[in-house]
Amino acid sequence: MHADGWLADTTTSYDTVAVSYADHVRDALAGEPYLRASLGLFADQVRAAGGGPVADVGCGPGHVTAHLHKLGIDAFGVDLSPGMIDVARRDHPDLRFEVSSMTDLDLADGSVAGLLAFWSLVHVPDDAVPTIFGHFRRVLRSGGPLLLGFHLGDGSRLKTQGYGGHPMNVYVHRRQPGRVTAWLDDAGFTVESQLLFDLDQNVPGAVLFARRRSSL
């Protein structure tokens, strides 16, 4: 996999599965009480920090963006996959969705009050994570909350088939909270809390609540 090959592979893969993936996750939050609670706490943190626009980075078909909107948050979504953005706009026509890569996030400095990356880092190789976290810090206001969700564990695997049986070509990375916390600290964030869940399942999850420091 060459330097940016994962970006092209991720784009093509999610363009291919966009409609099937949207059908798969449309009602997923209804059965995830811990994730709903995490999103509710994140919404409270955004309001406590003064409110404002919130970026759902790697928003996919927009179901989490829409959930935040229902919680009273001015959320918008960005995603690498034009196919996913098309589906998000179709399913949530009143919300804002744009094509953008988290490796070169097309948002102004300090323009968002909060930022969410819910399982959208799972295909990002380790060497690209620091750059991405640097962009997260750049676009967040000082003191703004950051919410990350990711697969808990170690190692990576190649995913060749996805939702609806369509072909994919992406690596899926599992990570430990300590490693992600270290990356965040280097990027200028303070991790305030973590939640681990589904620990008895094949793919457990982790959620980190962090906040942008005023200085590195």
Q: What is the pLDDT of residue 200?
A: 86
Q: Residue range 75-101: average pLDDT?
A: 97
pLDDT higher than 50, residue 86: yes
Structural domains in the chain, CATH included, are 5-102+110-212 (3.40.50.150)
C-alpha 40/C-alpha 50 separation (Å) is 16
Q: What is the pLDDT of residue 2?
A: 43
Name, in order, each residue with C-beta under 8 angstroms of 211's C-beta and a sequence gap of 6 or more: 143, 144, 145, 146, 189, 190, 192
pLDDT higher than 60, residue 1: no
Q: Does the CA dihedral 83-85-90-92 come out positive or negative?
A: positive
The two most distant CA atoms of the chain are separated, in Å, by 46
pLDDT higher than 80, residue 123: yes
pTM above threshold 0.75: yes
Q: Residue range 44-49: average pLDDT?
A: 97
Supply the mean pLDDT for the chain: 94
pLDDT in tens, 144-198: 999 999 999 999 999 998 887 888 899 999 999 999 999 999 999 999 999 999 9
Q: Are 152 and 196 in contact (CB under 8 A)?
A: yes
